[in-house]
Amino acid sequence: MNRIGIIGAMSIEVDFIKSKMTFIDEKRYAGFNFYLGKYKNLDIVLTICGIGKVNASSCTQILIDRFNVSKIINTGIAGSLNDDVKLCDIVISDNVTYHDVRQIQMISCYPYKEFFCANKELINLAIRAYQNICPKENNYHIGRIVSGESFISDKNLKQAIIESYNPYCVEMEGAAIGHVAEINDVPFVIIRSISDNADENATISYEEFEKISANISAKLVLKMLELLITE
């Protein structure tokens, strides 16, 4: 079965997608709600994993084990870590890793990888989806996304992450989702829209742009689903 798993950390990140789905059933495992339904003729399982890496990884494994999804798309918001990545821009993951786990630990311990690569077909699908969105009110970028257990709003920490990882944006779940997807051989991609610049003004910017950015990411995901229907 070609069933697509869609994960958001918060309801605000998936509400727009949820509003466009036809629901068939709802399941609850380990405190996570899984909404089974269709987007047009595509089978979808949509879920809200909560904030942080442990929640994200737990929810992702359940999504794989219980619902046998063939692809995973993570949608949501993030803080920019690149001067070219502006508020409300879209970042499509090339690869994902943790900014709060030492790189030597990543390559020395299972699964012995410094980062986890997004699926090339899903990356290309996201690019085509962006190209089919009209009007275009923001730019898109393809690059590394880093995750960690903190909301980044300190310029010194921001600079340290940039120097170590050269990422395009930072958030709190994507690397965990990619990690679990990869060790299960499930194709994944992380889609994020920028809500803040991960600096001293991050909290103010986040509050202003979180819904706008969340919907930008969600609309791109819906366009990806539409393209999948036509393939």
Is 26 known to be catalytic? no
- By CB atoms closer than 10 A (0-12, 13-18, 19+), residue 109 is exposed
Structure token pair of residue 81: 């870590």
**Which of 72, 93, 79 is closest to 202 using CA atoms?**
79
Length of the chain as a residue count: 231
Peptide bond into 135 cis (omega under 30): yes
- Which amino acid appears at position 222 of this protein? L
**What are the φ/ψ torsions at residue 128 (nearest 5 degrees)?**
-65, -35
**Which of 159, 228, 229, 164 is closest to 198 using CA atoms?**
159
Active site residue: 173, 196, 199, 210, which one? Answer: 196
> Cβ atoms within 10 A of the Cβ of 183, count?
14
Active site residue: 13, 173, 182, 210, which one? Answer: 13
Question: Do the Cβ atoms of 91 and 140 come closer than 8 Å?
Answer: yes
Is 208 known to be catalytic? no
Radius of gyration of the chain from its Cα atoms, rounded to whole angstroms: 16
The residues carrying an active-site annotation are 13, 196
